[in-house]
Amino acid sequence: MKTFTSLAPAKVNLTLHITGQRPDGYHLLDSLVAFADVGDQVTLRQADQMGLRVSGPRAQGVPNDRRNLMWQAAERAGATVDMELVKTLPAAAGIGGGSSDATAVLRGLSAMGHPPLDARALLELGADFPVCFEARASRMSGIGEVIAPVSLPPLPVLLVNPLVEVPTGAVFSAIKQKTNAPMPVTIPRFSGPVDCAEWLAGQRNDLELAAITIEPLIARALSDLESTRQCCLARMSGSGATCFAIYPDMKAAHFAAYELGAAHTDWWIQPATLT
């Protein structure tokens, strides 16, 4: 295979419990993660010289050199490839955009015949690397290196970001309590999105309040999602600023997208299905 093209899906933290902090500074977490059917597009081609071209509606400000995680992942894998990124996900948004793009590169290199590289070896580049490499509903724990698959029903959601960047480091620094309870040992099997949302309501994103202190627009996004018809649950993903709401069906998610899109023409608003 000389060319590889793949979706780098948005990652959504349905829960994110911060359960401690190691002496080396890494935070311990317990998170239920799902992936959307929307994301960036990554294309790789065999080449004699490394290159990266970035286009798409969210391309502005995305580096096309060694600062990009895609480039770093390819270098760590010992590969020289020409890469193309069509960027549709907002940056610094709590939905794993950079990690998902980079792990799409790793999957592509493997498909093109390069020796596989364990994404856990790249944890220093981001805690989301192992789970984004799997790109399936999972429970993520430890510092991100422990991944266990989870069975989830398809979840109709609306993803909303007021297009403000929230620095992950600042959010973690603003957490007041870093030793919190994990999720229950067993995650139940859900009959559908409403059942799942009811269980998720008893869980948390421990970064949410800290992120809101840094960027109050997150609270507005959550409030507006909660006010939409048939919203089952609204929560922030990751360290923000992207928030999501779960609906009983895609019709309700699309109706909410229309409703919020009319009120916030300058926000990123995207219906999606999580699996």
Over residues 13-28, mean pLDDT:
97
Q: What is the pLDDT of residue 57?
A: 97
User: What is the pTM assigned to this prediction?
Assistant: 0.97
Q: What is the pLDDT of residue 122?
A: 87
Q: At what angle do helices 217-226 and 250-263 cross, to 10 degrees?
A: 130
pLDDT tens profile 221-231: 999 999 999 99
Q: Does the pLDDT at position 1 exceed 80?
A: no
Q: What is the pLDDT of residue 119?
A: 83
Which residue among 30, 40, 101, 128 is the active-site one? Answer: 128
**Residue 121 — pLDDT band, cuts 50, 70, 90?**
confident
Q: What is the pLDDT of residue 118?
A: 84
**For residue 101, what are its two tokens?**
């793009």
Which residue among 11, 30, 40, 206 is the active-site one? Answer: 11
pLDDT tens profile 162-203: 999 899 999 999 999 999 999 999 999 999 999 999 999 999
Higher pLDDT, 92 or 224: 224
CATH of 3-148, one of 3.20.20.220, 2.30.30.100, 3.20.20.70, 3.30.230.10: 3.30.230.10
Quote the Cα angle for 35-36-39, to 5°.
Answer: 110
Residue 2 annotated among the catalytic residues of the structure: no
pLDDT tens profile 56-78: 999 999 999 999 999 999 999 99
Which CATH architecture is the domain 151-274 placed in?
2-Layer Sandwich (3.30)
Distance CA 5, CA 79 (A): 16
Q: Does the pLDDT at position 107 exceed 80?
A: yes
The beta-carbon contacts of 250-257 under 8 Å, at least 24 apart in sequence, are 250/156, 252/156, 253/156, 253/157, 253/158, 255/228, 255/229, 256/158, 256/225, 256/228, 256/229, 256/230, 256/231, 257/158
CB 235 within 8 A of CB 157: no
Q: Does the pLDDT at position 53 exceed 80?
A: yes
Distance CA 164, CA 258 (A): 21
- Please report, for the chain, the start and end positions of each structural domain, with discontinuous segments joined by +: 3-148, 151-274
CB 237 within 8 A of CB 166: no
Residue tagged 């300058």 (tokens): 266
Cα atoms found within 13 Å of the Cα of residue 214, Cβ hemisphere only: 20
Residue 11 annotated among the catalytic residues of the structure: yes
Q: What is the DSSP letter of 206?
A: T
**For residue 219, what are its two tokens?**
């609270």
Q: Does the pLDDT at position 83 exceed 90?
A: yes
Residue closest to 53 by CA, chosen among 84, 89, 82, 91 = 84
